[in-house]
Structure 1
């Protein structure tokens, strides 16, 4: 290889390395590229856990003036499993089922009722006289309007049970605590 050809390859390699460094800086919070069209909003505080056959993802969004929306997505880990209605009594119907529930305590207060983005359907359970209200098989998204009652510690309390008409039910989860901290900047979940 001649020296002039070597110099040209070295220059191209330096230019490519410089471009990679600039791209990495932009992706990691360095100076954004000149053609960036505004800044993206910061991501919503989010956490998740899995227990008794269901993964629950919690997030707080639309946080303004000490108010926002707490979203909980309940995802059964196996196909064919459903969750029970948020309106199911705390002890179920004739002891069958547990409601899908999300509540808050401490520095967060609920500003309304928990709503689910799924239609309720009724199923018949052998040995139970009354119909049992459930959501269709698969994930269910719920939302709860919340507001900060000052700065400090808060707890999200989550409850649910999942069942399958073929495979039976998982053990219900009741008042599963998820901790977060509320500051002037908004809520942040503690590391799991």
Structure 2
């Protein structure tokens, strides 16, 4: 049973941080920790990490002829929402941070990240413009990518989660996941 939170501002200053080594889990670690194996047609998980109240599962699908799709499922704690991928980098009047997935190194993006969830606007006290967010719960973001050659690549994640009752967590900016790209597609790089 979860203890109720009583002090939202304190949450911001004491946000949980995952240890960097824990951020690099292979598929076997996912299933060994109670995760369900992927369905036959689902993308195979590459890694999972949790930072500041959000768990991110990264997978690769439809890899063919040096192209494929990175899929990230961002799962905030119950009752928390994430901000739109379209939100400016510094938010709206300083409020919020976009849900982001970018690549560097041996992978290049072949488009913009796209979220499967619909955006809704919320009005916040002290903010003149509406702020675009996703409904509370998981958000799936896809990014089409191409490999220029075999080599190392990094996927950089950014996000912030907030709750109308409990406040916000500290935003995450450029959380790295390192991959090794070969003709068979991206795989988790050795730590």
- Give me the whole-angstrom Cα distance separating, in 1, the residues matched to 2:55 and 2:175: 12
The corresponding residue for 1:60 is: 60
- Give me the whole-angstrom Cα distance separating, in 2, the residues matched to 1:142 and 1:175: 16
On the 8 A contact 1:45/1:61 being kept in 2, the answer is no
TM-score, normalised via structure 1 length:
0.76
Query: Aligned-pair distance for 1:43?
Result: 6.6
Query: Aligned-pair distance for 1:88?
Result: 0.2
Q: Which aligned runs of 4 or more in structure 1 are off by greater than 6 angstroms?
A: 40-43
- Give me the whole-angstrom Cα distance separating, in 2, the residues matched to 1:138 and 1:64: 31
- The structure whose RCO (Cα within 8 Å, separation 6+) is larger is 2
Query: Aligned-pair distance for 1:50?
Result: 0.1
CA RMSD of aligned residues (A): 1.6
Which ranges in structure 1 are unaligned for 5 or more consecutive residues? Answer: 1-39
Alignment: residue pair count:
152
On the 8 A contact 1:45/1:188 being kept in 2, the answer is no
Query: Aligned-pair distance for 1:41?
Result: 8.2
- Give me the whole-angstrom Cα distance separating, in 2, the residues matched to 1:102 and 1:42: 20
- Give me the whole-angstrom Cα distance separating, in 2, the residues matched to 1:167 and 1:186: 40
Query: Which one has the bigger helix percentage?
Result: 1
Structure number with greater Rg is: 1
- Give me the whole-angstrom Cα distance separating, in 2, the residues matched to 1:42 and 1:83: 24
The corresponding residue for 1:111 is: 110
Structure 1 segment 42-53 matched on structure 2, within 5 A? 44-53=44-53
Per the alignment, in what secondary structure is the counterpart of residue 59 of structure 1?
strand
Structure 1 segment 22-171 matched on structure 2, within 5 A? 44-77=44-77, 79-171=78-170
